[in-house]
Each structure stands twice: as C-alpha cells, then as structure tokens.
Structure 1
Amino acid sequence: MSIRAATPADAPRIAEIWNHVIRTSAATFSNLEKTPEGLAQDFADKAADGKTFLVAEIDGQVVGFATYFQFRGGPGYAKTMEHTVILAPRAHGRGLGRALMAGIEEHARAGGAHSIFAGVSAENEAGVAFHAAVGYAEVARLSEVGFKFGRWMDLVLMQKML
C-alpha cells in the first residue's frame, strides 16, 4: 500500500472510481461524470495553484484518491480549504483513507491553510463517521441543499483546524 502524487496515467482509473460513486451513491450530489482528460487537466491546475491530488495504491493499482481546493472563491477564503476523498470498495478498512487525508492535510498546512472542510452527504453515514474519527467536527447541517435520485438531501459540513 502506498500514497503518491497522481499522474496523468492515473486519470482513467480515478475516473472509473469516481464515476462509480457518482452513478451509484449519494456520497456526492453531482451527476456529472469525470473524464480522464478533465482529470489530467485538474491535476495540472492543482499543481499550478500549489495544491495536490494524491492517489492510494494496492499492489500497483490505484484504489482511491484525495485532493483539496479553496473552500470558496475570493481572497478572504485563501487559507480555508475543502477536500474530496474517495476509495474503491476493496480499499475500505485498510487505513488508506486516513493516509490520504493525512497527506492532503499536511500539504495544505505547508501551503499556509488554516482549516479544511468536508462537505458530506447526510445519507453517507460512513463518511460522517470517518471524518469524525480523523478529527473533523460537525459545524453545520444544511437542509435539503442537494438533489439527486429524485430526492432532496442534507449536507453535513465538517471542519478541522490545521
């Protein structure tokens, strides 16, 4: 098991993992699937902006990823980040989510970030529990802000001070 920076060669596998989550779960409210080309550009854009996109591997195969970005636009939010972390089912319970989180948190901290947010679907109870276990505190619950699968869903905002 290892954690490393994503490369353009990882984009098809990351798209596969992410699109499965988009199609089958309420873990993200998005229904727009990712493309390898778009992801490769995202890797480059993040690097140019001083951010990172990390992948987790088992036996040389990418099984998860994490990245972060500015929480909201504008200079007043420049030190506040938000992240995305997604694992393939076979990667759950192996410590890779924690390792990915530690990697992006350290990268964000080194870049001057003050805090980092997780926006977690309230229907994703495992995601809420995971974030609590790695030191995130629930700071808000936004009612019916996401719409997917024909229903409204709540968003749990969780924050960790870096």
Structure 2
Amino acid sequence: MIIRQAELKDAEAIAEVWNAEIREGVSTFNSVEKSLSDIQALIKARGAGTQVAYDGARFLGFVTLGAFRGGIGYRFVAEHTIYLTHEAKGRGVGRALMAEIYDVARDQGLRVLVAGISGENAAGIGFHTALGFQETGRMPDIAHKFDRWMTLVLMQKKL
C-alpha cells in the first residue's frame, strides 16, 4: 500500500467514494454530491492535508483535514474526513491514513483533531475509539437526512 499527498488526478476517485457515501450512507449528513471541481479545489487548497491510499493502481481511500470552526482561537484544531472503498475496510488502510494525517497535522502546528460522526455510524465511532479519540459531545436530532433526524457525535484526539 502506498500513501501519498493527493494530486489532481486523484479527484475522480475521491469524488466516487465520497459521493457514494453522500448518496447511500450515514457517515455524512450532506446530501449534495461533490463535483469534480469541488474536489480539485479541495486538493489544491489543502495540499498535504489530503492524503490518498493506493494498492498498486487501485484506489483505497482518502483522508483530509479542514477547519473545525472559524476564528483564530481554533487555529490549532482541525476536523478530518476519512472515507475508504468497501474493499479497503478492515485491512488497516484507515489506520495507515490516519497515522499519515497525524504527521501532517503536527507539521502544520495542529494540536487536536476532531471527528464529527453520525450516531448511527457505530463502525465509525468504534474506529475512532480504537485510535484513541474520546467522545466529547452528542447533539441529538441535529441533522436531517433520509427523512429522519440524526445525532452528531463529536470525538477528539490530542496529538
């Protein structure tokens, strides 16, 4: 497995995985798919803050860092997004991507990573717990998707 900084040529693979989750999953509350230009802009803007994993030519997944909240007081905090292909799950790809993004985050002077996870996403909560993230908040019925109200679980890890 190779993990490296995302390049513009990765945008289509990232969009495919992310948009599948937007359409079908509960890992994101977003219901508007990402365009290729959205992903390309993200790759350009975030630089090393977006990492991809490949097994040969086969795309496995990505992780990206984004602002947690606006304002200078949050400058040492980032929220991350991580998505894997179905085939990559349970193979250590997520752990490897997270290990890489920890290094990137530290290099950027970050101190804390935040995960915002759907309360329905037990696998996501379990994954982050296994990586040392701690639950720091629950916001019941905060988001609406698939004609139902969903809970947001906030987790964080000090780097």
| Same fold flag (TM > 0.5) | yes
Letter of the 2:78 counterpart:
M
Between the aligned partners of 2:31 and 2:118, the Cα distance in structure 1 is 14
Q: Which runs of 5+ in 2 are unaligned?
A: none
1:43 corresponds to 2:43: yes
Q: What's the CA shift for 1:132?
A: 0.2
Q: CA RMSD in A?
A: 0.9
Per-residue deviation, 1:70? 1.9
Q: Equivalents in 1 of 2:58, 2:37: separation in Å?
A: 19
Q: Secondary structure of 1:129's partner?
A: helix
TM-score (norm 1): 0.95
Identify the range of structure 1 (66-75 vs 51-60) with the bigger mean alpha-carbon deviation. Answer: 51-60
- C-alpha separation in 2, matches of 1:63 and 1:32: 23
Inter-partner Cα distance in structure 1 for 2:39 and 2:79: 17
Task: Say whether the 8 Å CA contact 1:65–1:86 is kept in structure 2.
Answer: yes
Cα distance in 2 between the residues matched to 1:23 and 1:145: 19
Check conservation: 1:17, 1:63, Cα contact below 8 A.
no
% identity of equivalent residues:
45
Shift of residue 42, structure 1, vs aligned partner: 0.8
TM-score (structure 2 length as normaliser): 0.97
1:63 positional shift? 1.7
Deviations 1:10-45 (A, max 9, x none): 111111111111100111000110111111111111
| Structure 1 unpaired stretches of 5+ | none
Residue 96 (1) aligns with residue 93 (2): yes
Runs of 4+ deviating beyond 4 Å: none
Q: Which residue of 2 aligns with 1:110?
A: 107
Q: Separation in 1 of the partners of 2:13 and 2:5? A: 14
Amino acid at match of 1:58: D
Structure 1 position 158 matched with structure 2 position 155: yes
Mapped to 2, the partners of 1:21 and 1:155 lie a distance apart of 16
